[in-house]
Chains A and B, each alone.
Chain A
Amino acid sequence: MNIEGKRHIWSDYQKEIADDHFFYVRSCIRQSFFPGSEQFFLNLMRNILGKDVYENPGHTTCTGIGYHSDIVPSATIMTVIARHFALMKESGYKNIAISCVTSFGLYTEILDTWKHFPEQLEKTREYLFKATGREFDIPENVAHSSDIIYKFKDLIAQKAKNLLINKITGEPLKIVEHIGCHYAKMFPKSGVGGAEFPHVLSGMIEAWGGNVVDYPERRHCCGFGFRQYLVQANRGYSVSNTAKKFSSMKPFKPDMVLTNCPGCTMFMDKWQYTIKEMEGTSFGDKGESIPVLTYEELAGLVLGYNPWDLGLQYHMVQSEPLLKKLGIEYDNADKFKTKDGKQMPIPQNLINS
């Protein structure tokens, strides 16, 4: 085997990720359903890695869900995203860090559109100026927040308190990585490892001591889609995809699923509940379901943070089996308590708890 040749080819699959000074844009789904993830990303970047990350309160949705549902036209979404770039310019930043894979796909798609159709860029500049009086620059570096964690994965590994080892058996944890389709399938150059060998999550798992599970439907869609779930009658398409994917990974007995896309986290998590209700099927070992975590939540567990501070209790599939394997101590009484100790309502029908 020509290792040097392989290294040379692999270098083509890398992307440039900025080192510091990020303008952070949040995700609609993630800040609603997994609020601990984005909060921990900011904490990790600012307080643990000592990086400069700025959030602008004027930032809005990218309107991606509306765009993919044919409600928001492309001229509108281009102007909305141009406004985000304008906020970034006004704040003095040149590197954008995007929390959402849908948004990331749209930013890359729109930047590519502007590259090939400069007249669209000029039109967007005109629309934005007429509507808001703002001007914008094209960002120097566009990174998804999982790219940034990938870049600093070895630093996190050095500070790790819980490596991804099953403390009961002593074996590395078997982890399924699932990359959002809009991360690199549309524009392979925009993702680490491209569309063929996405390494952004598997790199983290390997660096933190786990084993990546390779199974037949590894690159299959999670079932999220946009049109598939927006109309209730079509949701069978969505849940069937998820069922296919989980049936494929079930024989490998994964300990958890790691995702970098808000939609994947949400649907792989919540459809497991739906499939269990519909058919009585669960896909984990010993009749349990498989916890689905975001990369920030996993990084937080690796760094020894309290799982309830990371928001793991807000998933439909609870993470207790995983926490036991990792040897992390937790108190179930604190699970749904606020920071000042008040008891919040406890959700019904949670799985694995």
Chain B
Amino acid sequence: MDKFGFTISKGRQIDYGSNDKRIAEYIFEKEPSFRLCIECGGCAATCTSGNFTGFSLREINILIKRGENDKVRQSLKKCMLCGKCTLVCPRGVNTRNIVVLAKKAFLKSDEYAI
């Protein structure tokens, strides 16, 4: 930036071809209700953590399904696993389990286990 006075901005397109879908596939397998999510945002609206931080389970669901995992990894740390999101979900998605499984999946992917 100092040398040129401008920078290269990254593209915002979703590249389904090269994104990493392993985390999503792991969760789909262990928690099939993940497929039922209609992205209504009820979970994010009721989230205590989301009230104080930028955490949104709805966003996390979308990003995991797209395979854009880098943002998810950091956000997951904000969840307190209180389970309020599970109570309000109109589709009966076990949202708390999704967070737990996502954390496990990231640990496994670091160990090249998935």
Which residues of A are in contact with B by a Cβ distance under 8 Å?
Answer: 232-237, 239-240, 243-244, 274-275, 277-279
Contact = CB atoms under 8 A, between A and B. Distances in A.
Interface of B: 3-11
B3 A235 contact: no
Contacts of A279: 8
A76 to B, nearest CB: 31
B98 to A, nearest CB: 32
Contacts, number: 30
Contacts of A234: 6
A236 B3 contact: no
* Residues of A contacting B: mostly: helix
A133 B60 CA distance: 71
Contacts of B9: 236-237, 240
A279 B6 CA distance: 13
26 contacts: A232-B5, A232-B6, A233-B5, A233-B6, A235-B4, A235-B5, A236-B6, A236-B7, A236-B8, A236-B9, A237-B9, A239-B6, A239-B8, A240-B8, A240-B9, A240-B10, A240-B11, A243-B8, A244-B11, A274-B4, A275-B8, A277-B4, A278-B3, A278-B4, A278-B7, A278-B8
A240 B11 CA distance: 8
Contacts of B4: 235, 274, 277-278
Nearest to A216: B17
B7 to A, nearest CB: 5
A232 B6 CA distance: 7
A237 B11 CA distance: 11
Nearest to A232: B5
Nearest to A244: B11
A234 B5 CA distance: 9
Contacts of A278: 3-4, 7-8
Contacts of B11: 240, 244
A240 B7 CA distance: 8
Which residue among A232, A233, A236, A277 has the maximum number of chain B CB atoms within 10 Å of its CB? A236
A8 B47 CA distance: 63
